[in-house]
């Protein structure tokens, strides 16, 4: 990610989180490595996983890999993560100016809420579980 401008990195990490959570594929060890690689961008990774969890919940098609991504990246179950995503939509301001007079779309407020609410909740998983080894 270092080759990309810092302003674009959160979007890229969010996209990786959405792909890992929705499309699946990586196992626990790979998700742990992804979370570690995200470093300070881990909240953006969690935001993407949250988007995947809510999309699956809304469609009624949960998957084990979405549940695993939620547990490893966000430290919560897929249902809990999906509920956080829904709660983050409450009271979104209309698109326009924020309190400091900057233009801020409601979508960006929602994304920031997800990063704040999901990014700090990761559990400290340092090694893959015995089932993965």
Both structure tokens of 74: 């966000």
Tell me the two tokens of residue 44: 């953006």
Query: What integer pLDDT is reported at residue 125 of this predicted model?
Result: 45
Write down the pLDDT at residue 11: 93
**Domains of the chain: which residue ranges?**
9-119
Helix (H) or strand (E) holding 103: strand 103-104
The one-digit pLDDT tens for each residue of the chain (133 residues) are 778 888 888 999 999 999 999 998 879 999 999 999 999 999 999 999 999 999 999 999 999 999 999 999 999 999 999 999 999 999 887 776 666 777 778 888 899 999 999 986 544 444 444 444 3
pLDDT score at 115: 92
The token pair that represents 25 in the structure block: 């594929």
Kindly tell me the burial class for residue 54, based on how many C-beta atoms sit within 10 Å of its own C-beta (0-12, 13-18, 19 or more). Answer: buried
Measured between alpha carbons, how far is 72 from 47 in angstroms, rounded to an integer? 13
């Amino acid at each position: 990610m270092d080759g990309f401008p810092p302003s674009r990195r959160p979007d890229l990490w969010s996209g990786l989180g959405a792909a890992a959570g929705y499309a699946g594929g990586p196992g626990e060890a790979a998700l742990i490595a992804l979370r570690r690689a995200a470093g300070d961008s881990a909240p953006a990774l969690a935001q993407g996983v949250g988007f995947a969890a809510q999309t699956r919940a809304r469609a009624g098609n949960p998957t084990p890999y979405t549940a695993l991504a939620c547990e490893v990246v966000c430290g919560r179950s897929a249902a809990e993560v999906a509920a956080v995503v829904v709660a983050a939509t409450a009271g979104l301001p209309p698109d326009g100016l924020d309190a400091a007079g900057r233009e801020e779309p409601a979508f960006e407020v929602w994304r920031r809420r997800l990063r704040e609410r999901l990014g700090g909740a990761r559990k400290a998983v340092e090694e893959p579980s015995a089932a993965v080894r």
